[in-house]
Structure 1
Amino acid sequence: MLEDRSVDSCLLSRVFSSSCLSESKWSFMYPGGDSDSKLVNGKRPLEVVEDSLTRNKSLRLTGYSIAEEKEKYDSDKNQSEAVGEEQIDDASVGDSSETSTGQGEEQLDSNSDGSDSSDSHSLIQGIGRDNSINCLIHCSRSDYGSIASLNRTFRSLVRSGEIYRLRRQSGFVEHWVYFSCQLLEWVAFDPVSRKWMQLPTMPSSVIFMCSDKESLAVGTDLLVFGKDDSSHVIYRYSLLTNSWSSGMRMNSPRCLFGSASLGEIAIFAGGCDSYGKILDSAEMYNSEHQTWTTLPRMNKPRKMCSGVFMDGKFYVIGGIGGSDSKPLTCGEEYDMETKKWTEIPDMSPPRSNAARESEMPPAAEAPPLVAVVNNELYAADHADMEVRKYDKERRKWFTVGRLPERADSVNGWGMAFRACGERLIVIGGPKNSGGGFIELNSWIPSNGPPHWTLLDRKHSANFVYNCAVMGC
């Protein structure tokens, strides 16, 4: 997280404008696109859902001024438009033409570097490439749109994903919350700057639009799983290109799985196939290579389960299994070094008193609402409105306090309980369709009971359909 930024990050943030500038201000990263409100080939700049943005004054760093570079960019852009719109289109991100991409990058270079190409190699002139990158990885993600506008090297550093890999290697990660309260619409929320960003509308068929969906963020990708006709499909949103595309198909397509991500990898365990068979198989996804790898089978098949990473291992928790489709109280641990599954009894959070008394069918409840912060496992009891913590030594759950009042749900559906860096995030909305607010509350776990902080609230006619946290 970015609560405590270094001197480097403060310096760069002042140069590359305020961190209040959202990642959505990527007009320079995607040159040639001046139709902010239109989706072109499934791509458009993220929109900030705010009435106004505040900017810091541009300052000089070793003689480098963004204000001057922006003025150069606007001047060159006007000249380019006078020549013809084709040159602008050629510079668009996502153009498959190698020549076109080269033209766009040369145009960016001319806007930023003038006749001096040495700055392209040093990034920030006068301090060298290594020091430049060290500064950049400490900047907020929301500054990267401005950074990408400076020259081809800056743009490549961001667009290729290299800057995010370097951040991950340095242990510097920002966590943003992505969630959907409308069928094909997603928004992103930065809990540090408390800014909202609108993602492009998902492309899909009517069947996918109306189907149940599952989601997970891994690396710089947001994956959304659903059904199209009788087959399972995946749509992938890329932070690097700000666009949706079809994702790579699983080796064994499934739904109702347990999943979690760790850096650029994610594990998906259990679930159901297209015929409703409960699975004991698992797969690993690599977001950098967009590949699926089949893992060893679990000890028990299960569906409607949850997944987390804790202490470097993957855990699948709870769910429904067996021929009689009864709730599973056990979990399973997958060791990525030994490639073995180990069953752990009583790892699933116990059902609430209200659920047991009502004799609610297990399939009517949401999968376990669990999250891991600082390698500690927490669970939300939607019925009793309580937060529980798992004692790894005694292998028991105990209550630590209450959920926020606004954490409404229907049997656990419609409420998001997620780890967001060092925070626990709870997103709750109206129980019934027709209007109201959703609220984002956070708590940084400590020794005492939860003290929830209201981060923001947002008008919504629906509850939360899907939610994922992207850390990069």
Structure 2
Amino acid sequence: MLDGRSCVVPRMFSSSCQTENNWSYMKDYLLDLDIKNGKRPMEIDAEGEPQPRKCTKMLDSCQEVEIARVLFRQQSLQGKDSVVPQMDSEQDNQLDGDSMDSDVQQLLHAEIFLSASDQNQQQHQAGDSSDSGSLLPRMNRDSSIACLSRCSRSDYGSLASLNRSFQNIIRSGELYKWRRLNDIIEHWIYFSCALLEWEAYDPNRQRWMHLPRMASNGCFMFSDKESLAVGTELLVFGRELRSHVIYRYSLLTNSWSSGMRMNFPRCLFGSASLGEIAILAGGCDSEGHILDSAELYNSESQTWETLPNMIKPRKMCSGVFMDGKFYVIGGIGGSDSKLLTCGEEYNLQTRTWTEIPNMSPGRSTRGSEMPATAEAPPLVAVVNDELYAADYADMEVKKYNKDRKVWLTIGRLPERAVSMNGWGLAFRACGDRLIVIGGPRTHGEGFIELNSWVPSEGPPQWRLLARKRSGNFVYNCAVMGC
């Protein structure tokens, strides 16, 4: 009846749900679902046996759920100290998400609101502002976290505003660890079309969100920057007057901080993340020397680990995770800054690098007067352990054949995905789909478009996810899955 999600409902009630009142509450809700699904209504007789039921009108308990859902929505809109970026007013703040059955989601939200309200009232009457040992009075802690983890993370900011217990469980990161262990992941797209401004887009809720403005000096604003999403963090790498610097945005606190340092600070590197870890390889140091070093970042401990050196030094390369291994692709290397067509594979188990010839998808044919640094690094992304590339010169999508080690053209890019030698265009994996972010060349105010394609559904057929008035040049882009 609940499409495999029925386990969520029993967890919402403790052993006290054996009492008459709570069972009536549950029975009426299940009755309402049966009516929606075209099933014959049933009732429970004195001996506990189900009997046919003639009355099908909505009962008071179901009305209470709906009232609580509305109250939860009002509380959400009024919530303060949100850990979710502010949403655009032009977007629909619908409560139900795609990650759960909408009826179960409504019941869960109602239960959360009623329990949190009861808890706040009890603490107020007792004159105690300390945290309660239970998140939801009707459930133990593990069951509470299990239910909360199934809410869309778009709602976590509002949940955190209900009481201190909810706030602590969300801001500590414990809820996201639970989600990761149970393979509950939502992907949000983060990108910047202004030098210090970042926006996020939730493709499930179709929500635009504004991140706080980065506080930095003018040198960092105009320096080359790279970005990377890992765990619940968005890292932006750049350079200030005399050194490289990293700005860290935390999803848990909705704020930026700085001060992190790599073992070997760099820029123009290749990078990719896998859960709470990320690998950065190659790039340039502060003197402009091309590096062959690599580092692993752990977002849980916020520590950097130096990895074995690559086979070849390279900058302006790209990085991906595929089949549990890290790959660095293409780039520029050598004293004469030549294009590299090879890639390198890093095995996390053996801690070794292996060179792979002809792994770069190649770049457009250009005149001899155009330097190699004029073009963007390879635009590559991995979906379901398959490697794809965007050929911005011919407006084509390519797929890498791992057995034959060749690139094959499989379709076209969206028509409006224009760029300047690959710069200003974003090509990323977002869960089971590929996304392209770009806009047409315009004078004055333009707009940005987000297009998506699910490779498992067949040849490239791009669907417009969203369009927004914005600058049409994407400076940086990253996808956070948590």
Local SS of the residue matching 1:110: helix
Q: Distance in 1 between matches of 2:466 and 2:402?
A: 33
- Contact 2:84-2:156 at 8 Å conserved across structures: no
Local SS of the residue matching 1:280: coil
Partner residue of 1:370 out of 359, 371, 380: 380
- Contact 1:433-1:461 at 8 Å conserved across structures: no
Instruction: Tell me if 1:326 matches 2:370.
Output: no
Partner residue of 1:454 out of 464, 467, 479: 464
- Contact 1:15-1:65 at 8 Å conserved across structures: no
Local SS of the residue matching 1:409: coil
Instruction: Tell me if 1:176 matches 2:188.
Output: yes
Over residues 291-310 of structure 1, what are the superposed CA-to-partner deviations in whole Å (9 max), with x where a residue is unaligned?
Answer: 11111000000000000001
Q: 1:304 to 1:433 in 2, by over 3 A?
A: farther
Q: 1:148 to 1:331 in 2, by over 3 A?
A: same
What is the letter of the counterpart of residue 427 of structure 2?
F
Local SS of the residue matching 1:181: strand
Over residues 172-193 of structure 1, what are the superposed CA-to-partner deviations in whole Å (9 max), with x where a residue is unaligned?
Answer: 1111000111111101000111
| Segment drifting more, 52-61 vs 299-308 | 52-61
Partner residue of 2:449 out of 439, 442, 457: 439
Local SS of the residue matching 1:446: helix
1:221 deviates by: 0.7
- Contact 1:119-1:125 at 8 Å conserved across structures: no
Partner residue of 2:113 out of 62, 66, 70: 66
- Contact 1:27-1:45 at 8 Å conserved across structures: no
Q: 1:71 to 1:312 in 2, by over 3 A?
A: same
1:171 deviates by: 1.1
| Segment drifting more, 415-424 vs 459-468 | 459-468
Counterpart of 2:428 in structure 1 is: 418
Counterpart of 2:201 in structure 1 is: 189
Question: Percent identical across equivalent pairs?
Answer: 65
Partner residue of 2:163 out of 118, 128, 151: 151
1:162 deviates by: 0.7
Alignment of 1:19-418 (within 5 A): 27-29=79-81, 46-51=85-90, 53-54=92-93, 64=111, 66=113, 110=123, 120-352=132-364, 355-356=365-366, 360-418=370-428
Local SS of the residue matching 1:456: strand
Over residues 199-222 of structure 1, what are the superposed CA-to-partner deviations in whole Å (9 max), with x where a residue is unaligned?
Answer: 000000111112221111111111
1:421 deviates by: 0.7
Local SS of the residue matching 2:90: coil
Q: Distance in 2 between matches of 1:230 and 1:9?
A: 54
Q: 1:63 to 1:309 in 2, by over 3 A?
A: closer
Q: Distance in 2 between matches of 1:17 and 1:62?
A: 6
The number of aligned residues is: 417
Q: 1:119 to 1:313 in 2, by over 3 A?
A: same
Q: Distance in 2 between matches of 1:150 and 1:5?
A: 29
Q: Distance in 1 between matches of 2:66 and 2:229?
A: 30
Counterpart of 2:477 in structure 1 is: 467
| Segment drifting more, 205-214 vs 274-283 | 205-214
- Contact 1:380-1:386 at 8 Å conserved across structures: yes
1:59 deviates by: 6.3
Q: Distance in 1 between matches of 2:468 and 2:431?
A: 22
Q: TM-score, normalised by structure 2?
A: 0.79
Over residues 6-54 of structure 1, what are the superposed CA-to-partner deviations in whole Å (9 max), with x where a residue is unaligned?
Answer: 4567999989969x98xx9694445xxxxxxxxxxxxx97221123644
- Contact 2:224-2:268 at 8 Å conserved across structures: no
Q: Distance in 2 between matches of 1:71 and 1:132?
A: 15
Q: Which has the higher contact order (CA 8 A, sep 6+)?
A: 1
Over residues 42-71 of structure 1, what are the superposed CA-to-partner deviations in whole Å (9 max), with x where a residue is unaligned?
Answer: xx9722112364455996669946279569
Over residues 271-316 of structure 1, what are the superposed CA-to-partner deviations in whole Å (9 max), with x where a residue is unaligned?
Answer: 0001110000001111111111111000000000000001111000
Structure 1: gaps of 5 or more residues? 31-43, 77-108
Q: Distance in 2 between matches of 1:161 and 1:154?
A: 11
Over residues 350-386 of structure 1, what are the superposed CA-to-partner deviations in whole Å (9 max), with x where a residue is unaligned?
Answer: 223xx24676422111000000000100000000000
- Contact 1:270-1:302 at 8 Å conserved across structures: yes
Local SS of the residue matching 1:204: coil
What is the letter of the counterpart of residue 145 of structure 2?
I
Q: Distance in 1 between matches of 2:284 and 2:255?
A: 29
RMSD of aligned alpha carbons: 3.3
- Contact 2:84-2:157 at 8 Å conserved across structures: no
Structure 2: gaps of 5 or more residues? 13-64, 97-104
Q: Distance in 1 between matches of 2:232 and 2:267?
A: 22
Q: TM-score, normalised by structure 1?
A: 0.80
**Greater C-alpha Rg:** 2
Q: Distance in 2 between matches of 1:232 and 1:7?
A: 51
